[in-house]
Each structure stands twice: as structure tokens, then as C-alpha cells.
Amino acid sequence: MDAQLTPLSFLRRSAEVHPHKTAVIHGTRSLTYRELADEAQRLANALRAAGVAPGDRVAYLLPNVPELVVAHFAVPLAGGVLVAMNTRLASEEIRYICDHAEAVVLVVDPAFGDLVTPLLGTLATVRTVVTAVDPDGPPTEGVLPGTVDYRALLDGGEPGGLDWVVDDELAPITINYTSGTTGRPKGVVYTHRGAYLASLGGLALTGYNAASVYLWTLPMFHCNGWCTAWALAAAGGTQVCLREVRGDTIWQLIDAHGITHLNGAPTVVTTIMDAEQARELDRPLVITTAGAPPSPTTIQQMEQMGFTIIHVYGLTETYGPYSVCEAQPAWAALAPEERAHLMSRQGVGMLHTDGVRVVESELRDGALVDVPADGQAMGEIVMRGNGVMKGYFKDPEGTEKAFAGGWFHSGDLGVVYPDNYVELRDRAKDVVVSGGENIATVEVEHAVASHAAVLEVAVIGVPDERWGERPKAFVVLRPGQSVTDTELLAHVRTKIARYKAPREIEFLAELPKTSTGKIQKFDLREKEWAGHTHRIKG
């Protein structure tokens, strides 16, 4: 009889094969694989005793700490569905997700007490609120009043007695809420089978093994940390937790624990690259990056420092990474800038996926039509298979719309080259249509970012009486660097066509971002389009 696919089996196996190997490290704390499995079993039993029934949602509001690693196994082991929430949400956003998910338990870090305390007793379905105090975190006053102590809950859980199996591999394992940059966030449903295969896809991509030491620079709540907690358990590797992304702390942990892998948005890459402690590495360290196309300049600089950059692309709806810009041997002979440009593409579907297509905006006779593979024709990127969500929670209409034609519609615009590699050109809502010409803001951002003084850049369309709209760049400079807007604009015009170049640059101390490092362009648009009857969608 075939076994149901579930990432729970990864921890069961590593607890048997690597019982005394360190699985998780956080400050002064650590857990072996046997201890991690034991804690997951006890918490699962405690949740069941607290009334968590099969299919019930259990919400977590924690930073990257061991308790959230445990939750990735304990909650589904109890039969529940994990809902890991963004730690930068406002109080009412937390309320919305808890109520929409119909969560019955909420586990919080005391650092978020000011957000959660006003909600106590008012959440529609939450019966139990648990405080998980981090002894290696910032000083707190301890367990929030009116909540249950996580340690007491855990200690009350019976050891063992639960099988690391599921009856239905298509049952939900987690629900991840989108960032909600436009309208209410949607609950993206992951299944046991999808999480299992996405984890193995990530393992195959990065080369995780029992000697791997992974640093949690990516939030665990974001697409379940790209399924990495499960993937590392499958490999028998070690996970090092990090509450807050800071360049100095990252380098300290790289040295202290021999970090071999980390994941993050391009902003994490620049944080590492621009830290005071930054230097050329004396051993391999793999960075898997996504969230926005990294500029060829960034890729080239990191390679020169000795990092190996793996560029992936995906969405919350695709368990995180779905495609990878897999390097070809022939690229090694190319000039660094040309090789870096090829590596900045979004590439091809990963091992566990059913491929990626770029299609025309309209269906023909109910079917999707591919754009020419010429690197010029732009269309929407679509995906399907086990690497794509089951659907949106309690939103059948939204799910049906997202899967029009049988493939998931990303809302991202791209091209496909003759070598079958896809390149993201823009979010559909981020295209600047100036005088009838489509300008991909990603291309403009790459041109601006190629200047040595530029740390980060975001380009949006702003109102223009003659052209309808035109691109404008918002720039953050590297510490100690300076450049005038005139100098920077002249540089950009040497990289791209003049009509694509912004006519205005605004220098900022920082760009608005989500907690996962994605730049929130809608914040910039709100300011620029205020008072206009016509406004860019999104």
C-alpha cells in the first residue's frame, strides 16, 4: 500500500537516523533531532487536549525562533492547519486573519503584546491564546496577562503516541496569507503533498545535506519559509534561528556556526554585502534569492565575494520558489556582466513543478496561447502542478479566476527566450504606459542599480500631462556614497533607451517594504497619485 506524502515523515526519519545531531540552534538553546521530534509530539498532544480538532487552524505570531520550527511539525501532527502570520501586521490585520481563518488557538511572542492584548477576548473563534517567551530574545515582562504559558502547555503534553502519517495527502497543512498590498489578504492553502514535494524540490536545488547549516534570514511565516524547515529536516541539516535581519549579526553567525546556506530577498543580499564586516569568504556559502529580480550588478558583486547565488522565482501561491535560473556550463566562459545578466532571469521550472509558460492575456476558445519564444513578446507567467496552491481559503470565485485555462495566473509579465528561460519584466500593475509605449520598471531599476553609489531602487509610473504617465525612480544610496540626480540620470541613459529612463529621481533614506523585503510600491504611488481622478491600478 502506498504511503501518503507528508513532510512529517522527514522529521520521523531524521529522529531515527540522526537522533543526537543538532537540528535547531537559537542563542544559548539547541535541540537535537530526537528532542525536536519529542517536542513536536508533546505539543501536538497538548493542542489536541486543548481542543484542536482535525482541520482546525492554529495561528502563530512569532519571529524566527525554535517554537515556530516545532510548529511546522506539531500543528499538522495534531491534525491542525498552521497559520503563520506576518509579524509586521497591524492589530486589526491580525484580527482579520484570525477571524477569516477561524483559528482556534493563537500563539504569540510577547514582543507583539501591544498588538495582541487589545484583541484578547474579542477574536471570533480563538479559544486559547498562548505566550511563547523567548529566553534569548529581548527582555520582556513574561507571559501576557490572560494567556497560557507555552512551556506549561508543552510540559502538559503527553510524550509520543502519534504516527507521523496522514490519511489524506491533499488535506491542508498550512494557510499562508498574502501580503495584502491591494485589498484584503487571501489565504493560500498548502497541502501535505505539495509541501512534501516543494521541500524536496528545494533540497535538490540547494544541495542541502546532513552537513548543511542554514541561517534563517528569510521569515519563517513567508510561504512557510519556502518550506525550508521541512527541507532541512529531510536532509538532516542544522537550522540557526535569527529574530532580526542585521548585517553584523548575520556575519557573526556565519563565523560562529559555519553557515553554508541562507535565503532572502535581494534586500537581504545587499544587507550582507554592505555590512561593515563584509569580506571575501574562505568557504562556500549558497544564497537563494527571490522576491524581486536581483540586478546583474548585485549578482556579479556577490560572486566576487565568494558567494554562490541561486536565483529563484515564485509566489505565495507556489509554496515560494517555483522556477530557477539554472546556470549552464557554457555561461562560465562569458564576461562577468553578460553571465550576471543571464543569471538574473527567472529561468525554468524546478524539479517538482509542471513547468512555466508565458501566455497571451486572452484565452482562445478557452485555451491559453503561448507567446513566441523570442525574448521580446511579453505575456503573463502561468504555472500548474503540485508546486501550486490548492486554492484560496473560502474563496472559490477567486480560485476559479486564478486558474483560468487550467493554469495558475501569476499576474506577472515576462518573456521567454529561445533557450526556454523565462524573464520577469514586471508585475502587471507596475508596467508604465507612457505615450502608448510599455516600459518595464524592472529594466529601469536594473539600469539605475548598476551605478556604484546605488544601494536600492524602486521605479513607478507617475502622472504626466502629455504622456499620461512616466517613470520615476526612488533611490537609496550606499552609506558614504554620493551622486547627484543629474549624474545618475546620465548614467542610466547609457544603459537603456532614453524614452525608458526616468526624468526624475527622488533620494530616500529607505524604501517602504514588507517584512519579507519586498518593496511596497503602492505606498509610493499613494503619494504621487494623490488628488488625481485617474490612478494606476494596484
Query: What are the tens digits of pLDDT across the range 104-153?
Result: 999 999 999 999 999 999 999 999 999 999 999 999 889 999 999 999 99
How far apart CA 60 and CA 103 sit, in angstroms, is 10
In the chain, how many H helices and how many E strands? 17, 26
How far apart CA 111 and CA 62 sit, in angstroms, is 9
Q: Give yes or no for residue 302 having a pLDDT over 90.
A: no
Domains of the chain and CATH, by start: 38-192 (3.40.50.980), 245-427 (3.40.50.12780), 431-528 (3.30.300.30)
- 3-state DSSP helix/strand/coil percent for the chain, to nearest 5? 35, 25, 40
How far apart CA 344 and CA 309 sit, in angstroms, is 10
Give the DSSP H/E element, type plus range, for residue 20. none
Cα torsion 11, 13, 15, 19: sign: negative
Q: What is the mean pLDDT of the chain?
A: 92
pTM, full prediction:
0.87
How far apart CA 422 and CA 314 sit, in angstroms, is 12
How far apart CA 537 and CA 529 sit, in angstroms, is 11
Would you say 347 and 422 are in contact if contact means Cβ atoms under 8 Å apart?
A: yes
How far apart CA 180 and CA 526 sit, in angstroms, is 15
Give the DSSP H/E element, type plus range, for residue 197. helix 192-206
**Which pLDDT tens digit goes with each residue over 398-425?**
999 999 999 999 998 999 999 999 998 8
Rounded mean pLDDT of 484-489? 95
How far apart CA 308 and CA 327 sit, in angstroms, is 11
pLDDT at residue number 534: 43
How far apart CA 507 and CA 516 sit, in angstroms, is 22
Q: Give yes or no for residue 183 having a pLDDT over 70.
A: no
Would you say 140 and 133 are in contact if contact means Cβ atoms under 8 Å apart?
A: yes
How far apart CA 95 and CA 224 sit, in angstroms, is 20
Q: Name beta bridge partners: 471.
A: 461
